[in-house]
Amino acid sequence: MRFSRLALLCVFGALCVFLTTVSAATTTWDKDDQEIFSLQAALEKTEGKEANFYKILGVPRSAAFNDLKKAYRKKSLELHPDKQGGTKEAQERFERLGLINKILRDDRRKRYDHFLTNGFPKYNPSAGGWVYSRFRPGLISVVLLLVLLSCGAQALVIHLNWKRDVRRVQILRKAALVVGLGPRYAQVLAALRQHQRASASGDGPAVPSTKASLPVIKEKKVRVPLAGFVDLPAEPNPSTATAADWDEHERAVKKAVSDAATFAAAQAQQGGQPPRTVEMLVRSAGNTLDPTARSDRDVVEVLLSDPESGDWLPFDEASTTPKPDLMRRVWVATLISNATGGGASSSASTSSDRPDEKATSSAVEAAANGTGAKRSKPGKRR
């Protein structure tokens, strides 16, 4: 809710700034500019929207002074009121022609050319003057835009936090595998996974050539640094696991563990406190070759000890950090849900989207702080 309140404050703050800026943004035109605008508007009204001073005189924009003078004389004879019946409209057209001639023969011609190139403003009585008829978003459009921007920013923050949590789970889970299975953990897992795939497909077991028999994962409780081993090398691709250089991979794992231990010791020496750790359990996932088992079930299972309840909680990406439903987590959805009386159901559905995240997070922090209660026997799961 803290982010939601901040988003609301940002929306209304930006809206106030925008409205203040729009209301204060007035353009002051001088007398000559207003005369040009009025003359051009009257010209477009009587002669057509494509009309301009040069077209009325029948000369190009690059016409010289003498050319303008000759064109004016010719046009004035043509539009003289005596030849047009002496009507009021004829008199007004003749007067406009005289004003056009004066403007194009002095410095005001540059101003006219400028507006002819960039566009003429229109007179708006509600604005109290001449304004450009450009798109000006209304209040509703501005509010909707700011709401979308704030929701997009919140969704981005939620997604980035989720990616960070996934990365943390991956690092901590891999650290538990290293401590529980040893520096060749990746080879052990590759052998078991390859055996699982081969047995399921009926091709018979297949293991890396360096293993004389299929490895067995024994249940083991381990204490893992909360920061994990961030520099662990990536596991080889399953399709090329049989040709992987496991000796090189083992050396890289040992180096990452050594670097992490050195860094933790330096941090402990500076802060005067030992590195924070959590208790985890590494064990086989059971009969993974059972045809009724889930196809996505891994050969190894990692669990985290909950210091408060003593239970072992599943510790993997699917159960700990499920992908959030961004459409239901943004502040607008929460606001609408609360307004329509669906706040409780929304909270329940949000909790169901992330079933073990809160429990796992509290277990990590509590175990790291050493505040855990008596733990259950290994293998007990909720």
% of the chain with per-residue pLDDT over 70: 74
Same domain, yes or no: 123 and 216: no
List the CATH number of the domain containing 119.
1.10.287.110
Same domain, yes or no: 201 and 298: yes
Q: Looking at the 3D structure of the chain, how many domains does it have?
A: 2
Please give the pLDDT value at position 344: 52
Same domain, yes or no: 45 and 154: no
Whether 84 and 90 have beta carbons less than 8 Å apart is answered as yes
Q: Highest mean pLDDT range out of 121-125, 134-138, 286-290?
A: 121-125
> How many angstroms separate the first and last alpha carbons of the chain?
30
Final residue belonging to a domain, choices 116, 136, 156: 136
List the single range of 111-125, 136-150, 190-204 with lowest mean pLDDT.
190-204
pLDDT beyond 90 at 201: no
Same domain, yes or no: 114 and 182: no
Domain assignment of residue 212, yes or no: yes
- Burial class for 271, CB neighbours closer than 10 Å (0-12, 13-18, 19+): exposed
Domain assignment of residue 2, yes or no: no
Same domain, yes or no: 216 and 341: yes
List the single range of 9-13, 152-156, 245-249 with lowest mean pLDDT.
9-13
Please give the pLDDT value at position 360: 57
Same domain, yes or no: 189 and 276: yes
Domain assignment of residue 150, yes or no: yes
Q: What is the pLDDT of residues 286-298, one digit of tens each?
A: 644 444 444 445 7
Final residue belonging to a domain, choices 90, 113, 136: 136
Same domain, yes or no: 287 and 338: yes
Same domain, yes or no: 120 and 245: no
Domain assignment of residue 173, yes or no: yes
Same domain, yes or no: 110 and 190: no
pLDDT beyond 80 at 266: yes
Whether 183 and 253 have beta carbons less than 8 Å apart is answered as yes
Same domain, yes or no: 264 and 363: yes
Among the residues of the chain, which ranges form H helices? Answer: 2-24, 31-47, 53-57, 65-79, 88-104, 108-118, 139-181, 185-201, 246-271, 317-320, 326-329, 331-339, 343-353, 357-369
Q: What is the mean pLDDT of the chain?
A: 78
Same domain, yes or no: 287 and 319: yes
Domain assignment of residue 9, yes or no: no
Please give the pLDDT value at position 18: 53
Domain assignment of residue 163, yes or no: yes
Domain assignment of residue 376, yes or no: no
Final residue belonging to a domain, choices 96, 117, 136: 136
The residue that leads in pLDDT, 322 or 128, is 322
Domain assignment of residue 213, yes or no: yes
Q: At what angle do helices 108-118 and 31-47 cross, to 10 degrees?
A: 60
Which residue range is the domain that position 132 belongs to?
29-136
The closest of 159, 145, 39 to 101, measured between CA atoms, is 39
The residue that leads in pLDDT, 173 or 308, is 173
Give the global pTM. 0.58
Look up tokens 């194009």; give the residue. 104
Q: What is the amino acid identity at position 198? A: A
Which residues, other chains included, contact 271 with Cβ-Cβ below 8 Å and sequence gap of 6+?
none
pLDDT beyond 90 at 150: yes
Same domain, yes or no: 48 and 173: no
pLDDT beyond 70 at 348: no
Please give the pLDDT value at position 359: 55
